Amino acid sequence: MTETLKPYVIGLDLGGTNSVFGIVDSRGEIKATTSIKTQGYETVDKYVEASVDALQLIIDQVGGIDKIKSMGIGAPNGNYYNGTIEFAPNLEWGHNGIVPLAKLFSDKLGIPVALTNDANAAAIGEMTYGVARGMKNFIVITLGTGVGSGIVVNGQLVYGCDGFAGELGHVIVKENGRTCGCGRKGCLEAYCSATGVARTAREFLETSDEPSLLRDLDPAKITSLDVSIAAGKGDKLAQRVYDFTGRLLGESCANFTAFSSPEAFIFFGGLTKAGDLLMKPLKEAYDKNVLNIFKGKAKFLISGLEGSSAAVLGASAVGWEI
């Protein structure tokens, strides 16, 4: 059976709350989507069963399973080498062990299934459909609840010896810095994620008496969006929160360049909506801190896969790689 008879792949963006499925063609057009809740299943088998039930409807819409080449999954703590999810803290059926999710889906659907972590899926998505088309060396940094990364070197994802490489959110950027969700101190994620931005805002509010629109909000409920709205209205304290965040991210990128000298850094996820508020101090700090020989070489781009479908497209791109 030739390639053209199997024009689609299934993408699964497996998040902590929702599992979003899309059937995608080779140009990145999403032909059909569906979703289920990720939680609420006692076992992974029940989760896979519910997924396949939901999928069956959209598989039928595109002409049946024979039209589908493969499936790609982007999932937290996904291990590409083994097709497993390993000790994912936010998944009730995956937090205390190694779940062979790719094999479970493959057995049920009868097609090949590949799995990787969500940030790697984003990187493959950018390379397949997005702003990284044609690039051989780039780094995708996902700025959401956490900070993730997918690193491409010589046109290949960097998986390392164990499948877990590319955890730039857990590079320690501040000695004895903030406690991170991983249990260590000073990780990039503790500062430059959406939750990190909110944390910085709370710190700035606590340590000064400076007037700020943010003082009208319950400190515990401040979000990165609140901060960017306030900054957009000219709030100085809120602007300094993004200056601080962008600077730290720019300094970190300067260090990442010493590693793999990427053609571009591509930012993906909710925090990129802050736009120049974040990108301007980021680029300034990068230019100031990067080693001379690298100056002016890397581009700074925002993901070309905007909207809620980005993660599904990324996951589907993993399917094309099989």
Nearer to a second copy, 82 or 223 (CB): 82
Nearer to a second copy, 39 or 260 (CB): 260
SS3 string, the chain, reads CCHHHCCEEEEEEECCCEEEEEEEECCCCEEEEEEEECCCCCCHHHHHHHHHHHHHHHHHHCCCHHHEEEEEEECCCEECCCCEEECCCCCCCCCCCEECHHHHHHHHHCCCEEEECHHHHHHHHHHHHCCCCCCCCEEEEEECCCEEEEEEECCEECCCCCCCCCCHHHCECCCCCCECCCCCECECHHHHCHHHHHHHHHHHHHCCCCCCHHHHCCHHHCCHHHHHHHHHCCCHHHHHHHHHHHHHHHHHHHHHHHHHCCCEEEEECHHHHHCHHHHHHHHHHHHHHCCHHHCCCCEEEECCCCCCCHHHHHHHHHHHCC
Q: Which stretch binds a second copy (CB under 8 A): 202-210, 228-236, 267-275, 293-301?
A: 293-301
Residue of the chain from 9, 23, 123, 168 that contacts a second copy (CB under 8 A):
168
Q: To which residue do tokens 């905007």 refer? A: 306
Residue of the chain from 50, 58, 153, 225 that contacts a second copy (CB under 8 A):
153
Q: Which stretch binds a second copy (CB under 8 A): 6-14, 195-203, 224-232, 256-264?
A: 256-264
- Please give the residues from 170 up to 209 whose contact with a second copy meets the rule CB under 8 A: 170-172, 174-175, 182-184
Q: Which stretch binds a second copy (CB under 8 A): 64-72, 167-175, 193-201, 218-226?
A: 167-175
**Taking the complex as a whole, how short is the minimal distance between the CB of residue 144 and a second copy, in angstroms?**
18
Residue of the chain from 207, 221, 292, 307 that contacts a second copy (CB under 8 A):
292
**Taking the complex as a whole, how short is the minimal distance between the CB of residue 155 and a second copy, in angstroms?**
10
Nearer to a second copy, 29 or 162 (CB): 162
Residue of the chain from 136, 179, 211, 215 that contacts a second copy (CB under 8 A):
136
Nearer to a second copy, 161 or 220 (CB): 161
- Please give the residues from 67 up to 86 whose contact with a second copy meets the rule CB under 8 A: 77, 86
- Is residue 98 at the binding interface for a second copy, with CB under 8 A as the rule? no
Give the Cα separation of 197 and 190 in Å (integer): 9
Nearer to a second copy, 89 or 219 (CB): 89
Chain residues that interact with a second copy, rule: CB under 8 A: 77, 86-87, 136-137, 151, 153-154, 156, 158-168, 170-172, 174-175, 182-184, 251, 254-263, 289, 291-294, 297-298
